[in-house]
Amino acid sequence: MPQFRYFTTAEASLLSNRAFAGATVHDCFNWLSVLILLPLEVASGYLHHITKLSVATLNLRSGQDAPELLKVITEPFTGLIVQLDKSVITGIATGNESLHNRSLIRVWCEAPAPQISSAGTRGRSLNCSSLMSNSLESAGNFSSVMSQKCNHLFVDSSLPDLAVGLMLLAGSLTVLCTCLMMLVKLLNSVLKGQVARAIQKVINTDLPSPFGWATGYFAMLVGAGMTFVMQSSSVFTSAITPLVGLGVISLERVYPLTLGSNIGTTTTAILAALASPGDKLASALQIALCHFFFNISGILLWYPLPCTRLPIRMAEALGEQTAKYRWFAVFY
């Protein structure tokens, strides 16, 4: 997604190495971390052992669903476009062969049980034309629930799942690119003159002495917090990419924000793991902690010492190539 953001900022005045470097510093960090940590994990299994020990020391209990933040706002709208049958997804993921040919598009939704008043219904029949008792099979278990037809765009569609997915992908990319271009134009019009200088001074200024060394780590906390609220590291890193292209944020400041974003996105996975059933809780949490400790290990490798911040230099090199050869951005 940060790369999409770069293309929306690549106008005549913004087609520079800054924008592309800001869009790819996240990639450089991930690639370098994988190149070092993957062989180390294969040889020693350190992530497996650390996460297994961490899970063993916790008093695990199955919890409720992970908290939904922005999803509370977006789900009512996305639910009008398409709804997916999570039981089919779960069944396929757990190896239920009978569900491979079932559609992922949800047709029947649970309906609230009708409230019947003993005084108000005497002598009258309850109108249940919009409701039906539907026996649903979920992962081999049968349960009788009151259900009604879902209300979304593809509920009565005869198209295969692949066609629906391609249509949604094309529509999503169109909306995404349109919003990104509008946001960039808005930033271009707002971040000018004294406003741009004020923001630049605040964001790029270090903490006062003797805490200047902690500025980057504070930026990591900001990145982690913003990503936790947005529940997506891609959204956060994409949002700051045009600010790099405009020169409002330096690449050296974007780097710790990106690292913090990597930590923030692991909290969503950990919360989701804590909501798993009791028999799967330990395994789910161990996988989520692998993601967390992988990012912590990457930060320890590529941030504490200035000489180890190779992702910044790699991103700058990629940006220089883009400034020389415009086709390189498309190729990348």
For 134-166, what is each residue's pLDDT tens digit? 444 444 444 445 678 888 889 888 899 999 999
Q: What is the 3-state secondary structure (H, E, C) of 262-274?
A: HHHHHHHHHHHHH
For 13-54, what is each residue's pLDDT tens digit? 344 678 888 889 999 999 999 999 999 999 999 999 999 999
**pTM for the structure as a whole:** 0.69
For 75-133, what is each residue's pLDDT tens digit? 888 889 999 888 888 888 778 888 888 888 888 887 665 555 545 444 454 444 444 44
Is the Cβ–Cβ distance between 263 and 291 less than 8 Å?
A: no
Sign of CA dihedral 277, 278, 283, 289: positive
112/146 Cα distance (integer angstroms): 7
Q: Where are the domains of the chain?
A: 9-69+210-330
